[in-house]
Structure 1
Amino acid sequence: MMALLTVTDIVNTACAKIGEEPPQSLTDDLGGGQSASLLYEAVVDFNLGLQPSGFHFAREVRQLSRLTGVTAYTGYDYVFEVPGPHDGPPVFLTDDPSDPGRRYDRYVLTAGRVHASDDPLYAMVKFRPDPHHWTGTFRMATISALAAEMAMAIASDRNTMQIWHQVAYGNASDNFRGGQIRAALTEDGFANPPRRIAVADNPLERSWRS
């Protein structure tokens, strides 16, 4: 049975790409470990953000947590917390998680909380998964991108940084959607079913369902 990939494995592979010794520990900054860990988090979060709807391995539906004793000053009845950990605002809200095409839009998102008058509600949220959940294409693009950042941070080698940055993201005209990350985005696109036209999203339909 193969061992699960860890953050250390990703950092070590990135170091190997640029011919640098990996840090002994990601929690000890004497050998650059904490800096490597911070770079890892920044690169992974950026790459995950390149898919606005969330990579399929880095998103999930969670029920919102209704808060008690909190007044919704926006005029809605309830205030909900978005369960964490998660990255950024919810991709979408729904009051029926069994219907993939159903979207809930009668809410206000303020200060990281959802104000609405329906309960229960559910949110598709994005989060940072452990490396063993990544696809091979996303893993390779992230390792190359991390190698670029570490080439500059460890060796101040701008040429090597530019080489691996281009491998990961393509040319400047690709707007961070070329190179290896394009393969990851393309692969993930097949995991996202096409949205149907919301022909049923009208007052009569909503009234019937309520």
Structure 2
Amino acid sequence: MVLLDDEIAIVNAACALIGEDAIQSFDDDDGGNSGAGLIYGMVVDFNLGIQPAGFQFAREMRQLSRIDEATAFTGYTYVFDIPAPYTGTPVFLTDDPSDPNRRYQAFILTNGQVHASDDPLYAMIKFRPRPSQWTATFRRATVTAIAAELAFSLASDRNSRNDLQQMAYGSSIENYRGGQMRAALSEDGFSNPPRPTGTANNPLERAWRG
């Protein structure tokens, strides 16, 4: 059994869906196909972005890195880097990672850095995980979506592309959240339920709760 645990295996599963030969690498100089690698990255990043808060398998808490020599021009005390690799902006910040409902809101995000007056701080960030970390439902939708792009890229088959895209994402009115992707989003919803809006730093709430 072939395990879909790396990028090449995912692309080759997509090639199999459309009857194309498997590729050996994403390196043109090594007889591979760099275009397939670009399509892989484009589709995976797009699919991860369909879940704004990040799929559970594609996000994690990280401590922000304070830049000692930096001066915050925004009036805050500290400047922090967000530890790489990550994609997009942080889902949320917190000053207490032990409290899953706590949110830190007294900050500014500018030029890819966080300005704030408290240290330490932590951020829930999104990243592109390896295929071995994906759920089976996300993997299925992503393989189909990659196959759709390869059908057009390798064979100029627009009809197959449209059919596969509809299989992966549903109809156009579903905003890419139907089809196989709906199953991935539903599965993620059970493991990553919404939490209440973070108001723990609100002085009125603290006073009301005593």
TM tier relative to shorter chain: over 0.9
Q: CA deviation at 1:31?
A: 5.1
Q: CA deviation at 1:3?
A: 5.2
Once residues 135 and 128 of structure 2 are traced to their aligned partners in structure 1, the CA distance between those partners, rounded to angstroms, is 13
> What are the ranges of 5 or more consecutive residues in structure 1 without an aligned counterpart?
none
- 1:41 corresponding residue in structure 2: 41
Once residues 118 and 11 of structure 1 are traced to their aligned partners in structure 2, the CA distance between those partners, rounded to angstroms, is 44
Once residues 73 and 200 of structure 2 are traced to their aligned partners in structure 1, the CA distance between those partners, rounded to angstroms, is 31
Once residues 16 and 175 of structure 2 are traced to their aligned partners in structure 1, the CA distance between those partners, rounded to angstroms, is 27
Whether the 8 Å contact between 1:29 and 1:35 is mirrored in structure 2 is no
SS in 2 for 1:89: strand
Structure 2 length-normalised TM: 0.93
Aligned 1:146-165 pairs, distance under 5 A: 146-165=146-165
Once residues 190 and 184 of structure 1 are traced to their aligned partners in structure 2, the CA distance between those partners, rounded to angstroms, is 10
AA matched with 1:14? A
> What are the ranges of 5 or more consecutive residues in structure 2 without an aligned counterpart?
none
- 1:63 corresponding residue in structure 2: 63
Q: CA deviation at 1:205?
A: 5.7
AA matched with 2:23? P
Aligned 1:59-208 pairs, distance under 5 A: 59-196=59-196, 198=198, 200-203=200-203
> Which string of whole-angstrom CA distances, capped at 9 and with x for unpartnered residues, describes residues 47-73 of structure 1?
000001110100000000000111100
Runs of 4+ off more than 4 Å = 1-4, 29-32, 197-201, 204-207
Q: CA deviation at 1:127?
A: 0.3
> Which string of whole-angstrom CA distances, capped at 9 and with x for unpartnered residues, describes residues 147-171 of structure 1?
0000011011000100100000000
Once residues 67 and 128 of structure 1 are traced to their aligned partners in structure 2, the CA distance between those partners, rounded to angstroms, is 25
Q: CA deviation at 1:5?
A: 1.2
Structure 1 length-normalised TM: 0.93
Whether the 8 Å contact between 2:108 and 2:114 is mirrored in structure 1 is yes
Once residues 206 and 76 of structure 1 are traced to their aligned partners in structure 2, the CA distance between those partners, rounded to angstroms, is 23
SS in 2 for 1:21: coil
RMSD: 1.9
> Which string of whole-angstrom CA distances, capped at 9 and with x for unpartnered residues, describes residues 52-110 of structure 1?
11101000000000001111000000000000100000000000000010000000000
Q: CA deviation at 1:24?
A: 2.7
Identify which range, 2-11 or 193-202, moves more after superposition.
193-202
Whether the 8 Å contact between 1:85 and 1:127 is mirrored in structure 2 is yes
